[in-house]
Structure 1
Amino acid sequence: MKEVILHVYDVTNSDSEKTNNTILQINRIFKDRIGLGGIFHSAVQVYGLEEWSFGYCENGSGVFSCPPGKNPMYTYRECIVLGETTCSILEVKQILRELSRDWPGNSYDLLAKNCNHFCDAFCERLGVLKLPGWVNRFANAGDTAMVVAGNTAFRISRSCQHLIPGKNF
């Protein structure tokens, strides 16, 4: 069995120092004080000197690695042990090959398919705990709000069809 570690970062990759400081402040208030969550990047470490995550790119896989806790785009926050995997190192490499194929960089979506979703999928394949809810809570809430808004807009448009003269729907 091998320990699986989640590395969590504050998302401070903006060119604006003010924006980065605002995100740090949001995370301190909503995660550290209230316990709800914040705006985070995550990566999973298992067997070795690399952590694995997912991000946007135009071509190829969005799955990438870097040294644990050293992603230069973000501010390191903490690590969380998610359990131990029974997968061998060869099985982990196979899982990563499959995930790399299934997670193209151009499919990245901030709310619906981000690094935290990738880490959940990776952890599920490794047979360990999913990410704590607070890690991706803001994206999940935003995605839910988008679905509700889309469904509401569709229902409104369907119910207003009779108001458009000359239209047979």
Structure 2
Amino acid sequence: MAEVKLHIYDVTNSGSEKTNNTILQINKIFKDGIGLGGIFHSAVQVYGEDEWSFGFCEQGTGVFSCPSGKNPMYTYRESIVLGTTNCTNLKANQILRELSREWPGNSYDLLSKNCNHFCDVFCERLGVPKLPGWVNRFAHAGDTAMEVAGNTALRFRQAKTEIVQVSKVAYRFLLGVTNNVGASTEPSGNSNRGSASPRFQGAWFKNLITSGARPSSSSAIENQEEDALRQNQLSDASSPLRQNSQSRHDI
């Protein structure tokens, strides 16, 4: 058994004294003042005098070690005992070798795969509690914001696709109405050519509203138009006015 200790630093490696002081003030207010958290670097110590953490590098593993509490890139803050591990020294070293392969330096991400995430995984494999929530709270908040943004973007893309589809259907219907209006100015013998009859258009629009259906092809539209046209002609032929007109034409 061995004690597992977490070392915590204020992140003050920005290269700007003004920025570093701002981070220190943020950490002082949000962590020391109201206990919410801050911008921290963390490392885990187990078996020996070194601490282990994770950082960015272009090639190779991002897992590295340094003397405990002595990382020169940051400002040391405090240490917390997380518990004791039942892993032997040999087992702990095996875990570190596995993590070294699983955590390449170029996979580092400030919000989703940083040093605090690494320490969480290391502690979990050692069988001790993970980091206190306040250590990585800013990154967790960033993850949540990114997830919400991603879901919003997905919903927007889905809505956009639906709008485009509905617009195409509406356009085809309005085009049919326009063609019918234009055709009504032609001689009566050609009034039903090249456009849907009002009866067909009304039925098609009603079907669109009630079921969301749409003609599957231009041939389907033509077949429905011909059926409507035949019904219209039969209806007209049966009326007295149409019969009288035919009689005068025959004479």
Q: TM-score range by the shorter chain?
A: over 0.9
Name the structure with the higher helix share. Answer: 2
Q: Tell me, in whole angstroms, the C-alpha distance in 1 between the residues paired with 2:120 and 2:29.
A: 24
- Letter of the 2:51 counterpart: E
**Matched letter for residue 130 of structure 1:** K
Identify unmatched segments of 5+ residues in structure 2: 169-251
Report the equivalent of 2:113.
Answer: 113
Letter in structure 2 aligned against 1:85 = T
Give the match's secondary structure for 1:154: helix
SS of residue matched to 1:100: helix
1:92 is matched with which residue?
92
State the Cα distance separating 1:158 from its structure 2 match.
1.0
Q: For residues 55-94 of structure 1, what are the structure 2 equivalents within 5 Å?
A: 55-94=55-94
Counterpart mapping for 1:13-162 below 5 A = 13-162=13-162
Distance 1:120 1:71 in 2: 19
Q: CA deviation at 1:67?
A: 0.4
Q: Which amino acid aligns with 1:22?
A: T
Q: Distance in 2 between matches of 1:80 and 1:5?
A: 6
2-structure distance, mates of 1:140, 1:105? 20
Quote the Cα distance in structure 1 between the aligned partners of 2:19 and 2:127: 37
Q: 1:111 is matched by which residue type in structure 2?
A: L
Deviations 1:13-60 (A, max 9, x none): 011111000000000000001000000000000010110000011111
- Residues 93-136 of structure 1 show CA distances to partners (whole Å, capped at 9, x for unaligned) of 00000000000111111000100000000000111111000000
Structure label with greater radius of gyration: 2
Partner residue in 1 for 2:187: none
- What amino acid sits opposite 2:15 in the alignment? D
CA shift for structure 1 position 164: 4.3
Helix, strand or coil at the partner of 2:77:
strand
Quote the residue 2:242 is aligned against.
none
> Partner of 1:160: helix, strand, or coil?
helix
CA–CA distance in structure 2, aligned partners of residues 117 and 88 of structure 1: 23
Distance 1:28 1:94 in 2: 37
**C-alpha distance in 2 between matches for 1:42 and 1:148:** 27
TM, length-normalised to structure 1: 0.96
Q: TM-score, structure 2 length as denominator?
A: 0.65
Select the structure with the greater relative contact order (CA < 8 A; seq sep ≥ 6): 1
Q: Aligned equivalents of 2:75 and 2:47: distance in 1?
A: 23
Q: Distance in 2 between matches of 1:102 and 1:157?
A: 34
Q: Which runs of 4+ in 1 moved over 3 A?
A: 162-165
More strand by share: 1
Quote the offset at 1:162 in angstroms. 3.7
CA drift of 1:163 comes to 3.8
